[in-house]
Amino acid sequence: MIELRNIAKSFGDKEVLRNISATFEPGKTSLVIGTSGSGKTVLMKCMVGLFEVDSGGVFYNNENFSKMNINERKAIRKEIGMLFQGNALFDSMTVEENVIFPLNMFTDMSEKEKKDRVNFCLERVNLKGANKLYPSEISGGMMKRVGIARAIVQNPKYLFCDEPNSGLDPQTSIVIDKLIQEITQEYNITTFVNTHDMNSVMQIGDYILYMFEGEKHWEGTSKDLMTAKNERLENFIFSSEFLKEARKHYVK
Amino acid sequence: MAYFYALTVFETGNYMNLFYHFGKYILLLKSLFVKPEKVSIYWRETIRQMNEIGIGSLGIVAIISVFIGAVTTVQTAYQLISPLIARSVIGTIVSDSTILELAPTITCLVLAGKIGSSVASELGSMRITEQIDALEIMGVNTPSYLIGPKIIAAVLIIPCLIIIAAFLGIYGGVLAGSLTGILTPEEFSIGARDSFRTLNLILCMVKAVTFAFIITSVSAYQGYFTDGGSLEVGQSSTRAVVFSCILILFADYLLAELLL
Ligand SMILES: Nc1ncnc2c1ncn2[C@@H]1O[C@H](COP(=O)(O)OP(=O)(O)OP(=O)(O)O)[C@@H](O)[C@H]1O
Ligand SMILES: [Mg+2]
């Protein structure tokens, strides 16, 4: 379980996050939605310690991560899998080497076990046969999927995905959403996903946090979302006429 | 740009800035000393770096040292035109200055350009594409994984390059001497052996190790703390070269003063 207690973050005099509190439970996929620039990525980076919060704290199982020393943080980080918005693949390594890297670094598995694990993960993201390619030789959507494979290869307890399906076609996008949801439930992972994708919101959102200009503006489940009475949220989610119509029918 | 930055630091006496960077640099070095997550991976990375730095720089080091040896011979002969001085003195001067100064310092200045810029731009682009953050999230100690092997590799392999450079430099001198008829290889070797002292060789190796450390650590510092985009990567890499060169010359003087 991850808990945010009143966290705030500014860069210089620019307040990016203001007083955000939320709880993310294991076995549930928590989504953070919000317009571009609302602070989703910054929030995620604060949660894993790439940015230090200015006030408040991030609690992993009631332990204050923000106050931990480097070794205590490392212990938690070994249980974290993260997909970056820009993928952050190691560009000097092949797809396979990228995914196998955490296993090489932190486990004593045999070569065969590692290979099997990597192939299993690549298969789950629909990337069979791309093992020997370099990141520069694959498409943006494929990179995203390699990033996901790398994030899940160590069976993380906490999974962070920054826009896992931006740049993917709707079909692959659904495959990835399903994958995230499945492993979350299967291994009881605490999953935190930033997204713009309304399909994902409706499909896999067990808990949804809507951010607006660095503040928590709304939270609830995807069911609540359909009937939510919040003008900003409505405009954000049901932005097109088509969706507005669809909603009307749903509510009826 | 970075060069001017270096100049302004030195000229306008913006020393606070200098101290700030020095402190940060020392802290970075300190963070290298942790137990590696997996010794075998660090070792493999060190070997890879040794190959890249060593084999990769062999060609340029060879060319430079042969020419510098040759030029030194010709120019020394030009300055020593006097019937009172034995021609073997040219051998003495060329071999001594090659071992003491030309091989270690000139070679390392060139290597600062080659290795320094590549280390800084590699780390800089890893930083801006969040690859370093990704490692950090996995729980890897990024300074020791990314910088440690480079420093160790350089400190081990650059002295070897310098020995090769010294040999080739002297060989270039011998070659130029006999080709132009200034002095025969025999005369050269009499002069060279005459003045040979182990201390020279020791100083040469001390310089090599020191410069190797300066090049990799300073460049790694510049690259590791890159902030921004591709423009900043370029600036880091220029700064890496400029600062490495300045520090090499500075250390060169200090070592000569201390050890001779
Ligand atoms: N390193 C930084 N330094 C200064 N300001 C930053 C930094 N990173 C982010 N910001 C600012 O924080 C705000 C939120 O950025 P963030 O990347 O979190 O947006 P986002 O919600 O992830 O948007 P998107 O959906 O486009 O990815 C932006 O206004 C940005 O200018
Ligand atoms: Mg973002």
DSSP B104: I
Q: What is the pLDDT of residues B196-241, one digit of tens each?
A: 889 999 999 999 999 999 999 999 999 999 999 999 999 999 999 9
Could you say which architecture CATH assigns to the domain A2-251? 3-Layer(aba) Sandwich (3.40)
pLDDT string in tens for chain A (252-residue length): 899 999 999 999 999 999 999 999 999 999 999 988 999 999 999 999 999 999 999 999 999 999 999 889 999 999 999 999 999 999 999 999 999 999 999 999 999 999 999 999 999 888 888 899 999 999 988 999 999 999 999 999 999 999 998 888 888 888 889 989 999 999 999 999 999 888 888 888 899 999 998 899 889 888 888 777 888 888 888 888 888 888 888 777
Q: Where are the domains of chain B?
A: 2-10+37-259
Amino acid at B220: A
Q: How many CA atoms does the CB half-sphere of A216 hold within 13 Å?
A: 18
pTM of the model: 0.90
What is chain B's length? 260
Q: Which residues contact A193 (CB under 8 A, 6 or more apart)?
A: A29, A30, A31, A32, A160, A161, A164, A180, A200, A204
CB contact under 8 A, B138 and A48: no
How much is the pLDDT for A123?
92
Collapse the DSSP code of A166 into the 3-class scheme (helix H, G, I; strand E, B; otherwise coil) and give the result.
coil
Can you tell me the mean pLDDT for B177-200?
90
**Residue nearest atom 4 of ligand 1, based on CA coordinates:** A11
Report ipTM (2 d.p.): 0.91
Question: Which among A114, A134, A120, A67 has a CA at the least distance from the CA of B38?
Answer: A114
Encoding tokens for residue A72? Answer: 């205590």
Q: What is the pLDDT of residues B97-125, one digit of tens each?
A: 999 999 999 999 999 999 999 999 999 99
Q: Which residues of A are less than 8 Å from B129 in CB distance?
A: 86, 88, 91
Give the nearest chain B residue to A108 (CA atoms): B38
CB contact under 8 A, A84 and B136: no
Task: State how far the Cα of A46 lies from the Cα of A43, in Å rounded to an integer.
Answer: 5
Ligand closest in space to the Cα of A45: 1
How much is the pLDDT for A252?
75
Q: Which residues of A are less than 8 Å from B137 in CB distance?
A: 48, 50, 77, 80, 82
Conformation bin of residue B141: beta by default, left when phi > 0, alpha when psi is -120 to 50: beta
Ligand closest in space to the Cα of B228: 1
**Positions of E strands within A25-150:** 29-34, 55-60, 63-64, 80-83
Q: Which helix (H) or strand (E) holds A212?
A: strand A207-212
Ligand 1 site-directed mutation target among A41, A193, A215, most atoms within 8 Å of CB: A41
For chain A, what is the largest distance between any 2 Cα atoms, rounded to a whole number of angstroms? 57
Burial class (CB in 10 A: 0-12, 13-18, 19+), B78: exposed
Ligand 1 site-directed mutation target among A20, A33, A40, A200, most atoms within 8 Å of CB: A40
- Whether A85 lines ligand 1, by a CB cut-off of 6 Å, is yes
- Whether A83 lines ligand 1, by a CB cut-off of 6 Å, is no
Task: State how far the Cα of B92 lies from the Cα of B90, in Å rounded to an integer.
Answer: 5
Q: Does A178 contact chain B (CB < 8 Å)?
A: no
Q: Which residues of chain B from 38 to 67 reach within 8 Å of chain A, CB to CB?
A: 38, 41
CB B145 within 8 A of CB B42: yes
How much is the pLDDT for B5?
55
**Residue of A77, A104, A106 lying closest to B137 (CB–CB):** A77
- Whether A16 lines ligand 1, by a CB cut-off of 6 Å, is yes
Task: State how far the Cα of A186 lies from the Cα of A206, in Å rounded to an integer.
Answer: 15
**Residue nearest atom 28 of ligand 1, based on CA coordinates:** A37
How much is the pLDDT for B222?
96
How much is the pLDDT for A166?
84
Q: Which residues of B are less than 8 Å from A50 in CB distance?
A: 133, 136-137
Chain A: give the shortest CA distance to residue B142, in Å: 12
CA A66 to chain centre: 20
Q: Which residues contact A18 (CB under 8 A, 6 or more apart)?
A: A8, A214, A215
Task: State how far the Cα of A199 lies from the Cα of B132, in Å rounded to an integer.
Answer: 32
Buried-exposed string A220-231: b where 16+ CB fall within 10 A, e elsewhere: bebeebeebebe
CB B178 within 8 A of CB B71: no
